[in-house]
Amino acid sequence: MTAKKTGGLAGISAGESAVCTVGLAGKGLNYRGYSIHDLAEHACFEEVAYLLIYGKLPNQTELTNYQSQLQSMRKLPDALLQVLKLIPKTAHPMDVLRTTCSMLGSLEPENNTEKQSQIADRLLACFPGALTYWYHFHRGQEISTETEEETIAGHFLHLLHGKKADALIERATDVSLILYAEHEFNASTFAARVTAATLSDFYSAITSAIGTLRGPLHGGANEFAMHLIEKFDNAAQAEQGVGEMLVRKDKIMGFGHRVYTVSDPRSDIIKSWAAKLAEQNGDTKLMAVSNAIEKLMWDEKKLFPNLDFYSASAYHFCGIPVDMYTPVFVFARTAGWAAHIIEQRNNNRLIRPTSEYIGPEPQTYIALAERV
């Protein structure tokens, strides 16, 4: 690693990876060489999860078997259900997923790395059920965490709403999972790799990642974006209100990116799905407000929307509660985290950077009685 000074390690290469390219000239965003545009248009999330975890796109038989395998792994242990009941209703849903991962690691420990891919699949299968079980329990209902839905998106929406989702809503959610599945050495992925590099277990690495994603400077921007959009009744109000926020130098979440400099290649994809959902819902407000905010941010600050901004409206139209937006991020990114944990383990070296010391010069020790 270079000794160049930079805030937050921006622009510093911290390792090599074959999982993903982000923002490289002429390459855009690719998962194991496949364009995010092609994957979002043609694949389902399970195909992408298989690609990330197992290193190749599945054929039809492999995909069918993989989806069946994930379906068979959805049942939660009774001990985990009891823990979910004890988590307060007031807890943040990210805390529910963090605790779920940690508890499952205690109940089904990783005794060797040979089963690491199966653990990744188990977490992909379990997270939607754990979150919705806790959610419904604290609203007076105990639900089964199993459904016959083939996709994780359909499974989650069925558990959340108690019925099969509309096809457009399911596909929009499925595409969002593809878009959120992986993004190179972002903060949570790097945290997972640091944990894995110490030879800790798979669950600990994922728990580290969830804890990192919980921070609003990494995850949570889609939640803040929704709270912002909901403040305004029309485009004119949005222009005035966000303009006043810019004058006050308030932070507008959902715009700009640490790596991308011109645009986020995922944004236009999720924006198109938000527009389709808005049309289906007869919306005349959210998309108009969102578009007005996007235009103002570009005109005034030359900041473009990232994936989180239009994900907010898309999830709103899918009937997903705002405080579940970042947990849905977890459902998706678990596949990417898993790919990086496996890659780190395959060529492991302890990740231990140095820091530039800016403290006082060497001091002479002063006896306690002589200190003023």
Residue with tokens 């399970």: 46
pLDDT tens figures, 131-148: 999 999 999 999 999 999
The per-residue pLDDT for 10 is 59
**146 lies in the same domain as 204:** yes
Residue 234 lies in a domain: yes
- The whole-angstrom separation of Cα 115 and Cα 299 is 51
The stretch 50-76 carries a mean pLDDT of 98
Judge whether 195 and 205 are in contact, CB under 8 Å.
yes
The per-residue pLDDT for 14 is 66
- 136 is known as an active-site residue: no
- The whole-angstrom separation of Cα 66 and Cα 246 is 48
The per-residue pLDDT for 358 is 94
Which runs of E-coded beta strand occur in 26-112? 28-31, 34-35
Residue 26 lies in a domain: yes
Residue with tokens 């109000």: 237
Judge whether 4 and 12 are in contact, CB under 8 Å.
yes
**292 lies in the same domain as 164:** no
**64 lies in the same domain as 145:** yes
Per-residue confidence band for 4, with pLDDT thresholds at 50, 70 and 90: very low
**49 lies in the same domain as 138:** yes
Q: How far apart are the first and last CA of the chain?
A: 43
Q: List the single range of 7-16, 163-172, 279-288 with lowest mean pLDDT.
A: 7-16
Residue 181 lies in a domain: yes
- The whole-angstrom separation of Cα 88 and Cα 109 is 25
> Residue 353 above 70 pLDDT?
yes
Count of CB atoms within 10 A of residue 148's CB? 9
Per-residue confidence band for 22, with pLDDT thresholds at 50, 70 and 90: confident
What's the whole-number average pLDDT of the chain?
93
**301 lies in the same domain as 338:** no
The per-residue pLDDT for 1 is 36
**26 lies in the same domain as 168:** yes
CA distances from 329 to 70, 85, 182, 204 (A): 18, 23, 10, 18
The per-residue pLDDT for 3 is 42
Q: The domain containing residue 233 runs over which residues?
A: 221-317
Q: Which residue among the candidates 155, 308, 316, 340 is catalytic per the annotation?
A: 308
Based on the structure, what is the number of domains in the chain? 2
Residue 13 lies in a domain: no
pTM for the model stands at: 0.92
Count of CB atoms within 10 A of residue 262's CB? 9
> Residue 228 above 70 pLDDT?
yes
**225 lies in the same domain as 130:** no
Residue 2 lies in a domain: no
> Residue 2 above 50 pLDDT?
no
Residue 11 lies in a domain: no
Residue 298 lies in a domain: yes
The per-residue pLDDT for 16 is 87
Closest CA to 97 of 319, 337, 307, 316: 337
The per-residue pLDDT for 13 is 65
Q: Which residue among the candidates 92, 136, 161, 218 is catalytic per the annotation?
A: 218
Residue 32 lies in a domain: yes
Q: What is the CATH number of the domain that holds 245?
A: 1.10.230.10
Per-residue confidence band for 7, with pLDDT thresholds at 50, 70 and 90: low
CA distances from 194 to 181, 206, 266 (A): 19, 11, 27
**250 lies in the same domain as 181:** no
**63 lies in the same domain as 182:** yes
203: left (phi over 0), alpha (psi -120 to 50) or beta: alpha
The stretch 60-85 carries a mean pLDDT of 98
- 155 is known as an active-site residue: no
Q: Which residue among the candidates 257, 264, 316, 340 is catalytic per the annotation?
A: 257
Judge whether 192 and 350 are in contact, CB under 8 Å.
no
The per-residue pLDDT for 24 is 62
> Residue 367 above 80 pLDDT?
yes
Q: For 144, phi and psi rounded to 5 degrees?
A: -75, 145
Three-class SS state of 253: coil
The per-residue pLDDT for 354 is 87
The per-residue pLDDT for 129 is 98
**225 lies in the same domain as 211:** no
- 166 is known as an active-site residue: no
**139 lies in the same domain as 245:** no
Q: What is the CATH number of the domain that holds 95?
A: 1.10.580.10
